[in-house]
Amino acid sequence: MEKGLLEKTGKTLEHWIKVVHQSKIEKHKAIIDFLKSEHGFTHGYANFVALKAIKSDAASQDEKELLVNQYKGKEHLKPIYEKLITQIDTFGKDITKTPKKDSVSFIRKKQFALIKPATKNRIDLGLKLRGKPTTDRLENSGPFGAMCTHRVKLTSFEEVDAELIAWLKEAYQMAK
């Protein structure tokens, strides 16, 4: 997201945070409105800068802490997460990993995947695969709604197989 902001505006995130602080605007929605009306931001970039400026986003917390909290009581699921990360990291250097309170998003130009420990015994992998039919394994997005088009429920390390990796890579390629 930060790289895209620089490409779109020619200015760094730090620059835009200073602009927000100099404006003396403190409310999240007001910052978004300001950036959209005064600087021509899209909603996504305005929201990103607003969250960073007021330090209320998950990225302002330590990433390790977020992951520890996500997998508290579900530590046995962490190897599945780590195997997914290892695979995603091989796709390219243009991926932004965005940890949140309950999930981690993967963004190229658009979000293409989301990993969420869903229950005590399952990780849900959300994928954005527009136009791809669902199968018994590649389900509709379920609770992810519009954030993803599909969901794969993972309960074991072995389920991160060639088929799943191919879907992940396809989602990554579609997000350019």
DSSP 109: S
Q: What is the mean pLDDT of the chain?
A: 90
DSSP 95: P
Residue range(s) defining the domain that contains residue 108: 63-174
Same-domain status, 74 and 104: yes
DSSP string, 128-141: --TTPPP-SSSEE-
- Predicted confidence (pLDDT) per residue in 96-115, tens digit: 888 888 999 999 988 999 99
Same-domain status, 91 and 160: yes
Same-domain status, 70 and 52: no
Same-domain status, 69 and 49: no
pLDDT reported for residue 93: 87
Count of domains forming the chain: 2
Same-domain status, 68 and 126: yes
Q: C-alpha distances in angstroms, 90 versus 10, 31, 63, 83, 163? A: 28, 36, 20, 11, 16
150-154/122-127 β-pairing: antiparallel
Same-domain status, 72 and 123: yes
Same-domain status, 38 and 111: no
What's this model's pTM, rounded to 2 decimal places? 0.67
Question: By percentage, how much of the chain surpasses pLDDT 90?
Answer: 67
Same-domain status, 122 and 100: yes
Same-domain status, 51 and 67: no
pLDDT at 128 over 60: yes
- Are 123 and 81 in contact, with CB atoms under 8 Å apart? yes
Helices (H), the chain: 2-9, 13-23, 28-39, 43-54, 63-70, 78-89, 162-174
Same-domain status, 153 and 71: yes
Same-domain status, 43 and 78: no
